[in-house]
Structure 1
Amino acid sequence: MSHAAQVLDTARAAGARIATAESCTGGLIAAALTEVPGSSDVLDRGFVSYSNAAKQQMLGVTEDSLSRHGAVSETVAAEMAAGALARSAATLAIAVTGIAGPGGSEHKPEGRVCFGIADAAGVRTETVEFGAIGRGAVRARTVDHALRLLLAALGGAR
């Protein structure tokens, strides 16, 4: 069974609804979930907030957070997740923001992705360094990691 199917089954059993807030993945997490038939009873919506303006307008990310920490930061990932939760009918939201590549900098290298997950218990964040493995691979690994975080948040195995 795919991770997406496991997330959906576990969410369904828990009565949970999910929202996604995606930057570097451009909707791939929502796409992975909707690839599974019957996902509409679990996935409420997906926000693709690629630009900083979209992060602010759609999810309530603050200008201060963007200017002080940058779009690729746990602070912004947390605000994206909290915003997705507040602006949806979801009980669980996942957010991702990162540098898929090519490019990056000494301070924010290619392959760095910040994750945020929000639910009734609050918001948790983490950063994963996937490395300069190529844009497609970073995005694929980000989707996989996000699905694992959702599963863990729902009380399933990671």
Structure 2
Amino acid sequence: MRYLLDAMLGTLPTYLRLCGHDTVYALDRDVEADEAVLGLAAEEERTLVTRDGRLAARADDAVLLRERDTEPQLRELAAAGVELTPAPEPVHCGRCNGRLVRDDAADSDTRPAYVPDDADPVWRCLDCDQRFWKGSHWERMVATLADVRDTSGETATDG
């Protein structure tokens, strides 16, 4: 799926990208005004995700969130049918949404100093050159998503 998250949802893009969703954050594109957000969503055929009810009502396709915090917002997305299972391998850059490729360089001199020596595999963003690996940050996000799916599943079946 292709999503556009408005300025109120700055933490969610990374989670959606981890799940393989092509996700644009409005402020990363210097878009904040309602008309510009709606135009970008229409132009790029993206589902708008917002906390603004009036904005959601004006969009061709939107998911309206009510919660302010990330985990409850993720539960709302799950309830709206958004798949929140992490991709086996990352596809989209967590920072900019660019495409990722495996960085198979065996020579540690080609990797930035922030990449641990034992990180393998490592992915590189073709747009911003950021490197990613499945470290503790990845594990925390995966655990959060698992908790959200478990909690959302219980809510759906108890209901």
Where relative contact order (Cα < 8 A, 6+ residues apart) is larger, the structure is 1
> Would you tell me which structure has more strand in proportion to its own residues?
1
TM-score by length of 1: 0.36
Q: Which has the larger radius of gyration?
A: 2
